């Protein structure tokens, strides 16, 4: 420092102090203030240049180790429970044809299977024009629901036809009405189908006169009695 006769200091001393600050902090005076907040004035000395805020009296005392280094955020592995939209879009749909209805052809992306769900099914289904979702049926124990994302179609519920479109929802309780869905439009009908996956279930197909018994992975199809069909 080069003192002046009036008790101040020369421009040379100002430049030297600022260079010291730049050396330790890379010119980041805001960081220096935060690191040393509350320490100003302990020696009674002041910086030789006027900078607002609380600063220590001597930048030479600041060790480089005292400057915190911002750690890089750890990138965790994506859990199986999470499917990103880009991954869903990239999934190759599985084409399936119902064993009792050759018009029931659907393209399915099973999000529940991809995330490891075993007791609940959640699927994105696409029906091309003229296709049906399934054979007309009802579950005696499982419950299922349908939410339409885009396109238009016709839902048959308890032998009654209903026009359906985007935003429409259908919920089928256990032992409820028989139902099916068909694409009556000119563009793909895209919907969400969700439902239970019980260990045991019974599914009736009234138009085919059949009943399906399900026990785990075992399935047995039998003829449906006239009383049960009614």
d(CA 30, CA 54): 10
Please tell me the number of Cα atoms within 13 Å of 110 on its side-chain side: 13
Each residue's pLDDT tens digit, 1-27: 555 555 555 555 555 555 555 554 455
Domains and CATH numbers, the chain: 11-66 (no CATH), 85-229 (2.60.120.10)
Each residue's pLDDT tens digit, 122-142: 999 999 999 999 999 999 999
Of 188, 180, 218, the closest CA to residue 101 belongs to 180
Please give the pLDDT value at position 49.
Answer: 45
Please give the pLDDT value at position 62.
Answer: 47
Confidence band (pLDDT; 50, 70, 90) for 199? very high
Each residue's pLDDT tens digit, 70-92: 555 566 788 999 999 999 999 99
Burial class (CB in 10 A: 0-12, 13-18, 19+), 139: buried
Confidence band (pLDDT; 50, 70, 90) for 55? very low
Please tell me the number of Cα atoms within 13 Å of 6 on its side-chain side: 3
Please give the pLDDT value at position 225.
Answer: 84
d(CA 13, CA 180): 88
Each residue's pLDDT tens digit, 86-109: 999 999 999 999 999 999 999 999
Neighbours of 96 (CB within 10 A): 13
Please give the pLDDT value at position 57.
Answer: 47
The residues, any chain, with a CB within 8 Å of residue 87's CB and separated by 6 or more, are none
pTM, entire model? 0.66
Residue 161 has pLDDT above 70, yes or no: yes
The residues, any chain, with a CB within 8 Å of residue 185's CB and separated by 6 or more, are 129, 151, 152, 153
Residue 203 has pLDDT above 80, yes or no: yes
Please give the pLDDT value at position 228.
Answer: 72
Better pLDDT: 199 or 42: 199
Of 101, 185, 96, 110, the closest CA to residue 137 belongs to 101
The answer to whether residues 136 and 180 touch, using CB atoms and an 8 Å cutoff, is yes
């Amino acid at each position: 420092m080069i003192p002046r006769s009036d008790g101040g200091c020369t421009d040379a001393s100002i430049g030297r102090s600022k260079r010291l600050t730049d050396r330790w902090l890379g010119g980041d005076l805001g960081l220096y203030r935060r690191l040393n907040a509350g320490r100003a004035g302990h020696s009674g000395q002041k910086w030789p240049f006027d900078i607002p805020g609380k600063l220590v009296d001597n930048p030479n005392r600041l060790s480089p180790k005292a400057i915190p280094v911002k750690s890089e955020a750890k990138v965790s592995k994506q859990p199986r429970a999470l499917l990103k939209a880009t991954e869903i879009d990239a999934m190759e749909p599985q084409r399936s044809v119902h064993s009792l209805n050759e018009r029931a052809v659907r393209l399915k992306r099973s999000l529940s299977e991809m995330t490891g769900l075993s007791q609940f099914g959640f699927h994105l289904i696409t029906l091309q024009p003229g296709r049906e979702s399934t054979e007309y049926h009802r579950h005696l124990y499982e419950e299922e629901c349908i939410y339409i994302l885009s396109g238009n179609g016709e839902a048959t519920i308890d032998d009654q036809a209903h026009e359906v479109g985007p935003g429409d929802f259908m919920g089928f309780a256990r032992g409820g009405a028989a139902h099916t869905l068909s694409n009556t439009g000119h563009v793909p009908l895209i919907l969400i189908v969700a439902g239970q996956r019980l260990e045991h279930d019974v599914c009736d197909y009234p138009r085919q006169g059949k009943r399906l018994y399900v026990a785990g992975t075992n399935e047995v199809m039998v003829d449906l009695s006239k009383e049960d069909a009614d």
